């Protein structure tokens, strides 16, 4: 494997681990009143890793086969914690594919964020097992197939929420 692939794998692994760590802390309540802006930062940063994967040439595995892993960890407790923390704003509407499927679809931030985490964790397991090429293959494939869409949708929803909290202010009366 080339140094370029190793460098990309290390960068994506770092972004993936930072996202999972940040998401876990925020789901646990560490963000307080800043949870939404901090989630926006987390999603934007991991989206950078995704765009790097999208810009890279296709990663092709030897024999075009992903080595088997044991079952991925259950992240439903993370999803449940996020759903509870985001309850007032968890549900939103999104267009899944603006070129092929323009129907508005209901989404949940908690589902989007944990879908991203699940795909990143799977790739991290390959990376931590000493298989950076398999990790890159998985991250790239799943970026195009699932987590890129979920991250993009969550990014738009979170940006809208943060913008509304900053811009939708009640006008103050002025004394005449």
Distance in angstroms (rounded) separating the CA atoms of residues 101 and 95:
7
CATH code of the domain covering residue 158: 1.20.120.1550
Provide the domain limits for residue 7: 3-167
pTM assigned to the model: 0.89
Distance in angstroms (rounded) separating the CA atoms of residues 45 and 40:
9
Whether 175 maps to a domain, the answer reads no
- 109-167 confidence digits (pLDDT tens): 999 999 999 999 999 999 999 999 999 999 999 999 999 999 999 999 999 999 998 88
C-beta separation of 52 from 83 below 8 A = no
Whether 173 maps to a domain, the answer reads no
Alpha helices (runs of H) in 75-108, residue ranges in sequence order: 76-85
Whether 174 maps to a domain, the answer reads no
Total tally of structural domains belonging to the chain:
1
Backbone angles phi, psi at 58, to 5 degrees: -60, 135
- 23-73 confidence digits (pLDDT tens): 999 999 999 999 999 999 999 999 999 999 999 888 887 777 677 778 888
Distance in angstroms (rounded) separating the CA atoms of residues 27 and 22:
8
């Amino acid at each position: 494997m080339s140094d370029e692939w190793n460098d990309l794998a290390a960068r994506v692994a770092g972004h993936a681990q930072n996202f999972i760590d940040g998401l876990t802390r925020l789901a646990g309540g560490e963000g307080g009143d800043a949870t939404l802006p901090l989630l926006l930062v987390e999603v934007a940063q991991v989206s950078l890793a995704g765009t790097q994967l999208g810009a890279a040439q296709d990663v092709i595995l030897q024999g075009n086969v992903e080595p088997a892993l044991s079952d991925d960890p259950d992240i439903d407790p993370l999803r449940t914690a996020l759903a509870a923390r985001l309850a007032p704003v968890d549900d939103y509407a999104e267009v899944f594919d603006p070129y092929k499927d323009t129907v508005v679809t209901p989404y949940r931030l908690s589902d989007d964020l944990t879908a991203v985490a699940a795909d990143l964790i799977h790739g991290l397991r390959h990376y931590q097992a000493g298989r950076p090429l398999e990790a890159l293959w998985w991250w790239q494939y799943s970026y195009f197939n699932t987590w890129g869409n979920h991250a993009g949708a969550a990014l738009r929803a979170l940006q809208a929420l943060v913008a509304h909290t900053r811009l939708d202010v009640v006008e103050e009366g002025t004394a005449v």
